[in-house]
Amino acid sequence: MAGIYLHIPFCKQACYYCDFHFSTSMKMKEDFTEVLLKELILQRDYLKDEAINTVYFGGGTPSLLSYDDISELLDTIYMNYNVNGIPEITLEANPDDLSNKKLKELSKTKVNRLSIGVQSFDDKDLRFMNRAHTANEAENCIKNAQDIGFENLTADLIYGTPTLSDEQWKSNLNKLNSLDIPHLSCYCLTVESKTALADFIRKGKAPDVDEQKSATHFEIMLEEMDKYGYDQYEISNFCKEGKFSEHNTAYWFGEKYLGLGPSAHSYNGTTRQWNVSNNPLYIKSINENKIPYEIETLTNEQRFNEYILTSLRTKWGTDINKVEKDFGTEDKETLMNQVMNYLERGLIIKKDNHFFLTNKGKLIADTITSDLFL
Ligand code: SF4
């Protein structure tokens, strides 16, 4: 089982908080699609004959791709990879791109899951983030997508922004529940050093993120999502009736994936590699039939740390037997000793030979996981 990720490195405008790889110049967009098709062919042996269960268009802004681009990319995947039955095919989309015409076109492709970048239903909040859409556009595109027949929808929300009140945060969650969205990803605003937001904060033009506010929003989120019947299957991800993101879940379970496009990462069980984060260099190199990547062979320690990092954040928890089987008795004993302090403080619980974060523990998940690393 494996997944394919396609990174579409273009955005209409730069959200102030974003540190993904993208360009706001569309100059290379045409060339890029051609080159991405070529990379799909060049990389077709990476996953050997592994069955492809998921395809994910991420970015950047994949909703900037045309109907022809998407169809051609998917046709190339179907022709060159071992695609399994009906895979989950997700496309990230921004509300300002999802006109009725666009939604109708998308419904004619093999894309069967839309991930909509809503972020907030408050225009003031959206302006703070420099999003290219309004709250109304976000609400309307969700309704239109559903009318056109997209049932498998997910939306992204951001909490902890200085402009987001507790009441508005509750109202954002309530709105998505009332829109009957089966999956939600909620991310806490973090200030990455090279972003415009970090610069504004340094210059005193924007207030810094308030950790206490983020923690309150996290608690509100747990309470509201539970009330609405969503299953928190990963710290930032909630779904109804088993509508997990198959793509991300496979990643958390350590399945293999192939990432294409600039900055995309790939993993084959033993090595991880990543393409250059530069559009012109990427295009030039692929045109010369060379994949512009760096590679590392994962050490035992890196694989252990990665397993702790991903598993502890999920509702399936960290499997103590698996730790012993994959990493040996010594590493298992180290984990058992390290975890003791968190068990005593009620931040982790042990059940059926698995460790799970408690709600209190989820609040400081990053601190706990890095403390459990080898
Ligand atoms: S958040 Fe999304 S839309 Fe905004 S700049 Fe980043 S990749 Fe582009």
In the structure, what pLDDT confidence band is assigned to residue 64 with cuts at 50, 70 and 90? very high
Torsions phi, psi for 296 (to 5 deg): -140, 145
Tell me what percent of the residues of the chain surpass a pLDDT of 70. 100
Provide the strand spans (E) within 43-82: 52-59
For the residues 229-236, what does the mean pLDDT come to? 97
In short, whether 128's Cβ falls inside 6 Å of ligand 1 is no
Q: How far apart are CA 301 and CA 148, in angstroms?
A: 48
In short, whether 78's Cβ falls inside 6 Å of ligand 1 is no
- In this structure, the residue with its CA closest to atom 4 of ligand 1 is 15
Q: Which atom of ligand 1 is nearest to the CA of 59?
A: 7
Give me the residue label for tokens 């974003």: 18
- Measured in Å, residue 12 CA sits from the centre of ligand 1 at 9
In short, whether 22's Cβ falls inside 6 Å of ligand 1 is yes
For the residues 158-176, what does the mean pLDDT come to? 97
In short, whether 60's Cβ falls inside 6 Å of ligand 1 is yes
In short, whether 187's Cβ falls inside 6 Å of ligand 1 is no
Six-digit token string for 95? 């509300």
CATH 3.20.20.70 range(s) for the chain read 2-251
CATH number of 2-251: 3.20.20.70
Tell me what the pLDDT averaged over the chain comes to.
Answer: 97
Q: List pLDDT tens digits, range 68-110.
A: 999 999 999 999 999 999 999 999 999 999 999 999 999 999 9
Q: List pLDDT tens digits, range 264-279.
A: 999 998 999 999 999 9
> Assign residue 27 a region: left if phi > 0, alpha if psi is -120 to 50, beta otherwise?
alpha
- Measured in Å, residue 16 CA sits from the centre of ligand 1 at 9
For the residues 33-42, what does the mean pLDDT come to? 98
Q: Of 301, 354, 309, which Cα lies nearest the Cα of 331? A: 301
CATH 1.10.10.10 range(s) for the chain read 300-372
| Cross-strand bridge partners of residue 271 | 297
Q: Of 346, 358, 344, 366, which Cα lies nearest the Cα of 214? A: 366
Please tell me the predicted confidence (pLDDT) of residue 125: 97
Please tell me the predicted confidence (pLDDT) of residue 88: 98
Q: How far apart are CA 1 and CA 353, in angstroms?
A: 26
Q: List pLDDT tens digits, range 111-139.
A: 999 999 999 999 999 999 999 999 999 99
- Measured in Å, residue 61 CA sits from the centre of ligand 1 at 7
For the residues 324-339, what does the mean pLDDT come to? 96
Six-digit token string for 320? 């103590």
Tell me what percent of the residues of the chain surpass a pLDDT of 90. 98
Please tell me the predicted confidence (pLDDT) of residue 220: 98
CA distances in angstroms from 57 to 9, 91, 178, 286, listed in the order given: 11, 5, 27, 19
Q: Which CATH number fits domain 300-372: 1.10.10.10, 3.40.50.150, 3.40.50.2300, 1.20.1260.10?
A: 1.10.10.10
- Measured in Å, residue 18 CA sits from the centre of ligand 1 at 6
Mutate-to-test residue for ligand 1 from 6, 7, 11, 16, highest number of ligand atoms within 8 A of CB: 11
In the structure, what pLDDT confidence band is assigned to residue 307 with cuts at 50, 70 and 90? very high
